[in-house]
Amino acid sequence: MTPGARITAAIEVLEAVTAGDVPAPVDSVLGNYLKQRRYIGSKDRTAIQALVYGIFRRRARLGWWLERAKAKALPRNLLIAHLLLIEKLTGPELRSHFDGRHYHPYPLEGGETVLADRLEGKSIDHPDMPEAVLLECPGWAEAGLRAALGERFTEEMRALNDEASTDLRVNALVGTQEDAIAALKRDGIFSKPALYSPVGLRLGGRPALGGTEALKSGLVEIQDEGSQLLALLVGARPGMQVVDFCAGAGGKTLAMAARMENKGRIVACDVHAKRLERLTLRQRRAQAHNIERRPLTRERDPWVKRHKGKFDRVLIDAPCTGTGTWRRNPDAKWGRGGLDLAEMTSLQYAILESAARLVKPGGRLVYATCSLLAAENEDRISAFLADHPDFKQMSIFDIWQETVGTDAPPEGAVADSALRLTPARHGTDGFVAAVLERAATQDEAEEE
Ligand SMILES: C[S@@+](CC[C@H](N)C(=O)[O-])C[C@H]1O[C@@H](n2cnc3c(N)ncnc32)[C@H](O)[C@@H]1O
């Protein structure tokens, strides 16, 4: 493909993202777009992806420039701004791509020409930009993130705008960390043990993993180190009865299954049956044989009531605004996040209340989100503890030693007994998690 044809593809993807009332997630739009065009080669795919994600990583600053030039944030305008401000194209270079030939975008017209003239030679950052624009922080999350991150707001926002590393989890059901490092090396991929997760590997760069033996054989799974740590902190052990209440496609279910060495039972629940279905193939490949998939109609599905007090461990990896995953999904900032926040917090509480019923006396409930906002984490936990005196929060320091087998990282990973992982400090996605234990007896709860 020529650079111009790649620009056309990026414009088409942006048009598809913004076609509905609510912006669609970029990863699925891009995935579908490329799936329907299998003739597009891997270099072109990477270039199209870089263009599209590059725009969402700089969406606030590009939008600021467009507003200043009185231009709408339309896909073509965003591409024009990106090519001039980020890729530093000159006006003639830009016009050589926008010339309507060979799948190139049609020539600049009207306001686009004025826009191009105004942006040529400028740099993306401007001293008049508000800090939130410079840091690419959406308005709906700014106050909450400033409160949650305090003096670390700037550093963490910068890290949240970087690209994430690729992390792998070694599946102990198939082999060891050394086996995985050697298998990846045979496919020309360099990896090293992750900093905190004893089952983690971090890759140099972003190599294509699809065809590697390590992935195909189930020896490794792609999983952010933060997710690995969260699954470890659940403390699922061989022989236990475990529920992964918001299992999705089962990333954490598989991580817990490996800890259980195929002994005991793990029930993967979700209201999206299609997501759970994706676990079928993954669990076969991972040689995990103790997983039961349980689609739910809603969080208060009758199955939950029938299984009250039956489980040693219940993980709630709750649906959230995903502010901790902006490195991977920068478009989530500009979607319906603000609207989501109010809906999410009530859904999170409803899930907590329902799933807590599954925990047996003396068992543990682990509540986590990949959002850094207190409204989705600490506030939900304290409201739940106030309403449920039979649960008490455990110290993450103790749980980390018990389940990960090392000392918790000293760099601010624990705040108010909860785990707080952030990209600048820990090199992981942002995660917050709390471990709650149910009193072993009714008397114990009353004594508290
Ligand atoms: C953060 S994602 C889970 C990711 C998954 N645990 C993993 O490791 O890949 C949250 C999940 O919660 C599910 N969910 C949303 N509403 C729910 C509800 N009311 N009850 C149970 N699960 C729900 C979503 O379908 C989504 O898969």
Superfamily of domain 225-447: Vaccinia Virus protein VP39 (3.40.50.150)
- Quote ipTM for the complex: 0.99
- Round to whole Å and give the CA distance between 226 and 411: 14
102 to each of 8, 10, 108, 337, how far by Cα in Å?
A: 10, 15, 16, 38
Q: Which residue, judged by its Cα, is nearest atom 11 of ligand 1?
A: 246
Q: Which two tokens stand for residue 359?
A: 């925990």
Residue 370 annotated as catalytic: yes
- Minimal-distance CA residue to ligand 1 atom 19: 299
Q: Which residue, judged by its Cα, is nearest atom 13 of ligand 1?
A: 246
Structure tokens given for 81: 């701004």
Q: How far is CA 379 from CA 111, 357, 382, 389, in A?
A: 48, 20, 5, 16
Partners of residue 391 on adjacent β-strands: 438
Specify whether the CB–CB gap between 321 and 341 falls below 8 A: yes
Give the domain ranges of the chain: 3-129, 167-222, 225-447
Q: Looking at 137, 246, 269, 370, which residue is catalytic? A: 370
Q: Is 270 annotated as a binding residue?
A: yes
Determine the Cα–Cα distance for residues 173 and 170; give it in Å rounded to an integer.
9
Q: Are 334 and 286 in contact (CB under 8 A)?
A: no
Q: Which residues lie with the beta carbon below 6 Å from any ligand 1 atom?
A: 227, 245-249, 251-252, 270-272, 275, 296, 298-299, 317, 319, 351
**How much is the pLDDT for 441?**
79
Judge if pTM exceeds 0.95. Answer: no
Q: Is 398 marked within a binding site?
A: no
Q: How far is 45 from 35, CA to CA, in rounded Å?
A: 11
Q: What is the DSSP letter of 374?
A: G
CATH tag for 3-129 (out of 1.10.940, 3.40.1130, 1.10.1760, 1.20.120): 1.10.940
Class of domain 167-222: alpha beta
List per-block mean pLDDT (blocks of 10 residues) for the chain, which spans 448 residues: 95 93 90 94 93 96 96 96 96 95 93 95 96 96 95 96 95 97 95 96 87 95 96 97 98 97 97 96 96 97 97 97 94 78 93 98 98 95 96 93 87 78 95 96 59
Dist CA 299 CA 304 (whole Å):
8
- Give pLDDT, residue 339: 64
Q: How far is CA 127 from CA 80, 331, 440, in A?
A: 21, 24, 59
- Which atom of ligand 1 sits closest to the CA of residue 354? 20
